[in-house]
Amino acid sequence: MNGLDAAQALLGHDFSRPELLAEALTHRSAAGAKGVGSNERLEFIGDRVLGLVVAEWLIERFPNEQEGKLGPRLAALVSKPSLAAIAEAHEVGAMLSVAPGEAKRGVSTQANVMADALEAMIGALYLDAGLAAVKAFIRRVMTDVMVAQAAPPKDPKTALQEWALKRALPLPAYTVVSQSGPSHAPLFVVRVSVGNASAEAKAGAKRAAEQEAARMLLEELPE
């Protein structure tokens, strides 16, 4: 099964405009090959459609919660790590068209690349089949993470800041240790320090690396 067929099977839709799906599966490194553009434009619209569908789902699932709790729920569910985990579980990376050199570097398995591709696929599905098809797909692939989110989550940076404040410690300090890779696939290494404790993490975006470093440090710190 080729990438297009696998993507259509995952999305549960046979595209009347398969060129949309081909674009959604094209990493920027492979843009221009066979006249296909990169998936960035479809990622743009897919991100907005995903947010709308998940926000509606949250209002339906938690009818008594206000924005202060719904906001963190939404942010966690549509975050890059959450989307990357879903994309990895459904082997989205194997569906992508990536330039040979980038493929050798494992770009298609990078979390941010898979998350962006999933959003682009959602954008393509929306444009080809409408909101109802997108809603059915999102609820199918995100039900487990939605059900698992019993309480409104706190992002790791907020949780780490609260941990420090409760102990009268200085606020966490984040430092970019290094930045490497090409502009279309950067890699940030970030260190976070609180008191004498620290942790490092890497990701394709600075904020994502900060969040991961905070999460790692929280796992090492006492409750």
The residues assigned a catalytic role are: 47, 119
Residue 103: Cβ within 10 Å count: 16
User: What is the spatial distance between Cα 78 and Cα 51, in angstroms, rounded to a whole number?
Assistant: 7
User: What is the spatial distance between Cα 107 and Cα 112, in angstroms, rounded to a whole number?
Assistant: 9
Give me Rg for the CA atoms of the chain.
Answer: 19
User: What is the spatial distance between Cα 215 and Cα 82, in angstroms, rounded to a whole number?
Assistant: 14
Report how far Cα 141 is from the mean position of its chain's Cα atoms.
14
Q: What phi and psi, each to the nearest 5 degrees, are found at residue 178?
A: -160, 155
Report how far Cα 210 is from the mean position of its chain's Cα atoms.
15
Report yes or no: 146 and 204 within 8 Å, Cβ to Cβ.
Answer: no
Strand, helix or coil for residue 85? helix
Task: Indicate the DSSP class of residue 26.
Answer: B
